[in-house]
Amino acid sequence: MKAKNADRAVDSMLRTVSNNHFRLSDMADNKAHLMVFVCSLMLSLLVPRFYDQQLQHPIMIMSAACVISILCALYSAMPTYHRRQVGKPRAKNPNFNILFFGSFTQLSYEEFEKEMEQVINDRDLVYESLIRDLYGLGEVLNDKKYRFVRLSYLFFMVGLLASGIALGFSL
């Protein structure tokens, strides 16, 4: 990638987008924690009433939805770490991200220092590395965090609806 018009505006844009990604990641984690808390609270209120014959089916439905919702929320907040061999780890390799610990820890300190020096001394490589890091953050947000937080909310909503319908039939 060649940064033909790299200036303060480009630097500011990359910084802003990167900060937005971090805020979105934090928001997804907070939503996941909220779902774990709410579903755990619901389970603690439902379990003592499990043996009430009239409420047994609605309670089983809601309990199952809460457990699935908790699992989705926990998975979304669980740190992702893939140590994958990407060929020769070098800053110019498109599958290697010198700014990501999962990539650069494959190098010895001396190799890391040499690769960072290469990046620092090449303005185009600086922007390429930042953009590669930004893309990786976006992939994690899209493919894992928000996908599974959304599933957590959906299971919870479906569980509320289904248990409400089951409650209506059992009364």
- Residue by residue, DSSP assigns 30-49 as HHHHHHHHHHHHHHHHHGGG
Residue keyed to tokens 């992939």: 139
This prediction's pTM: 0.81
Q: Which CA distances in Å does 25 have to 56, 107, 151, 170?
A: 38, 27, 16, 42
Q: What does the pLDDT look like over 70-117, one tens digit per residue?
A: 999 999 999 876 655 555 666 667 777 888 887 888 888 998 899 899
Q: Find out whether 148 and 70 touch, Cβ atoms under 8 Å.
A: no
Q: Note the residue count of the chain.
A: 171
At residue 35, what are phi and psi to the nearest 5 degrees?
-65, -40
- Torsion, CA 96, CA 102, CA 104, CA 106, rounded to 10: -100
Q: What angle do CA 144, 145, 147 make, to 5 degrees?
A: 65
Could you tell me the residue ranges of all domains in the chain? 8-170
Q: What does the pLDDT look like over 51-69, one tens digit per residue?
A: 888 899 999 999 999 999 9
Residue 145 pLDDT class (50, 70, 90 cuts)? very high
Element (H, E) at 103: helix 101-104
Tokens at 118, concatenated: 């290469």
